[in-house]
Chain A
Amino acid sequence: MDGVSDLLEFREVSLRFGGVQALSHVSFTVANDELLAVIGPNGAGKTSIFNCLNGVYRPQQGSIRLEGTELIGRRPAAIAALGVARTFQNLALFTNLDVVDNLMLGRHHLMRTGFVSGALWWGRAKSEEVSHRRRCEEIIDLLELQPYRHARVGTLPYGIKKRIELARALCMDPKLLLLDEPVAGMNLEETEDTARYILEVRERLGISVILVEHDMRMVMDIADRVVVLDFGLVIATGAPAEVQSDPAVIAAYLGTPAEAVAGTGEHRAAAGGGAKAAAAASWWADR
């Protein structure tokens, strides 16, 4: 991996919680405009990758560089300001605010005016709000949220809330978008819609996306490359078709004896693999 034209470089990142090895020498890169999927069974370390990326966790080893800038050691707000936005596995919206206000909050870190002029809505505060509101409207247009603009978020259906969360992340004008299980709990139709929106977003806005997802069909449909994690270790990286036919991946997910996957044995043992392997098998069969 040359790393020169890549937007993000994750190199040899290891994260431990006491005796639990959450991530172990994880390395991958994300190119500009690339949609990279991170898959793996529950507890494989997918969300930990996100939490390292946006500064919630601090890995003990390794380096995470966004356009050459080291992210490890920076605070979440600083990383967001560098252009990393995320959505959450569980919704994290302000349910008593309307859609526009939730989106405007996504632009908060870009606002420059102070408390007084903001409160008086005077001078630069006014023109700034108008321009930010315009950007929000562009995102509303892109994600077809027009019918809900002034609806209280708490009253809207789940599928729409997920879309609003995506919209808020986009309102941050990110370079890199982290999507944590965007279709969890959705029916087939909502899942297809979401996949369409994600592709549309990437195409129109030209941003890179890291997607953590359990829905295999969606991952295989839309990802450019897939990173497969198992117990904190990258066991395969490649195009969806390659990964699908990779013996190590099949072995990991179908719960074949650990020795089939060279080198992963000790991590498997560390986190108690039996039940996990069973869950993984049914998860893979969901396809």
Chain B
Amino acid sequence: MITTAPGPVASGEQGDDPAPSTLPGLLLAHVRARPAAVALRKKNLGRWREYSWEEYGTRSARTGLGLLELGVQAGDRVAIHSENRPSWLFADLGIQGIGAVTVGIYPTSPATEVEYLLSHSGSVVLFAEDEEQLDKALSVRGRLADLRTIVVIDPRGVKQLDDPMIMTLAELEGLGERRQLEDYAERVAALDPSSMAIIVYTSGTTGPPKGAMLSHANLLSAGSSLRQAFGTRPDDEVLSYLPLCHVAERLGSTVNALAAGYVVNFGEGGESFPNDLYEVQPTVFLGVPRVWEKMMASIQIRMADASRLKRLTYRFSLALGRGLARRRMAGRLGLRGRIGAAVGSVLVFRPLRDKLGLGRVRVAISGAAPVAPQVLEFLWALGVPVREGYGQTEGSALATFTPLHDVRIGKVGTAEPGVELRIAPDGEILVRSPGVFLGYFRDPEATAQAIDDQGWLSTGDVGELDDAGFLTITDRKKDIIITSGGKNISPSEIENRLKVSPYVREAVIVGDGRKYLTALVGIEADTVGDWATRRNLSFTTYRDLSAKPEVTELIGVWVEEVNRDLAQVETVKRFTLLPKELGHEEGELTATQKVKRAAIAREFSDLIEAMYR
């Protein structure tokens, strides 16, 4: 197919410039070089199904060609509203390959958000995963003038298939068969690397989402930078589990995957995530703080249940591990350290890592939000070398990474290859790199605020850069709290300390313009529920559990403990437990589970005011 008969343009391009300059170009290069090798795996009805590079390429091409048949032109926007699955990638690379632009929509987005994203991006075609996502689109399609076709990936249970606007992915790929696969390869070769490839809508903890336009060249520069920074290679394995429309998972599942040519696995997702991780045992793993916090909590809870001997061994090994972690972070483990590590590994750490699904992890990254130092130390003690990364969508997530042998807790590392860092006079971190985006779609004003005339990107974060080039993030510029006493306080640092407890899921610090700080705390339903059951404390719902005085006391003891390590002005004077779990659909969290402070302040204003009475 594509491999056996490369078109004249494709072969000519190969001769002139062997390194492809777009993601679809990288895909076709893998198809040519090793068509039969495994590119993707998906767990379907309990079994892992493999997809070869050839299948990956062919299906992407057919999808792209099908879109051409539908009249999609270069530059048109095409949206994907689906959970992570191979078809997501087929659609993404098909769209980019014909010069159109992919717009990802979070699977959890409610219909109103879907409407906003589709209408703002002016998408002409929408890939809707299933009945659920189709229903969202159909409820708002009357107000979407640009939308012409909805392609349903999984048509089970869909009753509207005779609607002229709706077709299945299989039908679209069938349309694509009217054209030669070479047609796709030629278009890929003719792509302008500086043109727009994808729009990533940033979650935006305030205001409506903004569409960051990233070019093919932006994505490629991120890919080569990551490959250098982590040494990723074709025998690596990743689990695709964060939303693909977020730039972090895009990097892991397509950008770095196509740069390095490794295998991307799609599990069953949702609550099966721990099982998926256990079965895949990835070698490269990107975790958000929430994932690391949950892993730590799950081990702590499991150990509380273990026999005395196991608990003793665990405590001994953890103390050993913490000592080793410090030496490992500094890059000098030494012979004694190695022996100690081997003992700890045999006793406790290897089985624990295997259980978590991190048994084979070579590269572990924490990103998307700051993680508490205690969590990082714990993971290093287990022998999981988690490195923090810092970046933003607008810079293709390129900025800094912790070097493997010089980990300084509390700092997010040094600039990645090709990245320049600078601190503005007001403390804001500025970044310049080949990953800096083209601007916000249909928003020149916001674009002008984000990038200056010399290409420096304003990150919106406040931080410090030390002499060794290590960056420290203080907080989001707009989140900094100024108390009525005039003290500047970084809320996220205190929040992260609170979240170290396995019983705390969310913490929101309040105190801007107030005399003292207070906190809204969301409990972790599983662990607090478990704790309550052990004490024969009966409860029904989350609300009921969080209203128990015993639970308030449990959290109160922890808040006191955290306060002991904080400066006087930073201490949390009062706190209230949230009566409900925060959610994306309710507008309380962004799709990446970050708290929307403004929304929380509005929704729980009564609770907040009560703490200042």
Q: A: which residues have CB within 8 A of B?
A: 133-134, 137-138, 140-141, 144, 146-147, 149, 187-189, 200, 203-204
Contacts and interface: CB of A to CB of B under 8 A. Distances in A.
B272 A146 contact: yes
Contacts of B270: 144, 146-147
Given A187-B540, A203-B157, A204-B156, A147 B272 contact: yes
Contacts of B274: 147
Interface string B38-52: 000000011100000
Interface in B539-556: 540-541
Contacts of A188: 541
Interface string B143-171: 00000000000001100000000000000
B271 interface: yes
Nearest to B47: A137
Nearest to B273: A147
A204 B272 contact: no
Contacts of A204: 156-157
B541 A137 contact: no
B275 interface: yes
A137 B156 CA distance: 15
A137 B272 CA distance: 14
Given A147-B272, A203-B157, A140 B541 contact: no
Contacts of A134: 45
B491 to A, nearest CB: 31
Question: Chain A interface secondary structure, helix, strand, loop or mixed?
Answer: helix
A141 B47 CA distance: 12
A138 B44 CA distance: 10
Contacts of B271: 146-147
Contacts of B268: 146-147
18 contacts: A137-B45, A137-B46, A138-B45, A140-B45, A140-B46, A146-B46, A146-B270, A146-B271, A146-B272, A147-B271, A147-B272, A147-B275, A149-B46, A187-B541, A188-B541, A200-B157, A203-B157, A204-B157
A217 to B, nearest CB: 16
Nearest to A189: B541
Interface residues of B, number: 13
Interface string B252-278: 000000000000000010111011000
* Pairs A-B, 5 closest by C-beta atoms: A137-B45, A147-B271, A146-B268, A137-B46, A147-B272
A187 B543 CA distance: 12
Interface string B443-479: 0000000000000000000000000000000000000
A127 to B, nearest CB: 15
A66 B509 CA distance: 63
B44 to A, nearest CB: 9
Nearest to B267: A146
B241 to A, nearest CB: 14
Given A140-B45, A146-B275, A189-B541, 12 more contacts: A137-B45, A138-B45, A146-B268, A146-B272, A147-B268, A147-B271, A147-B272, A149-B46, A187-B541, A188-B541, A203-B157, A204-B157
A140 B268 CA distance: 11
A52 to B, nearest CB: 33
Contacts of B46: 133, 137, 140, 146, 149
Contacts of A200: 157
Interface centre among B46, B271, B540 (most CB of A within 10 A): B46
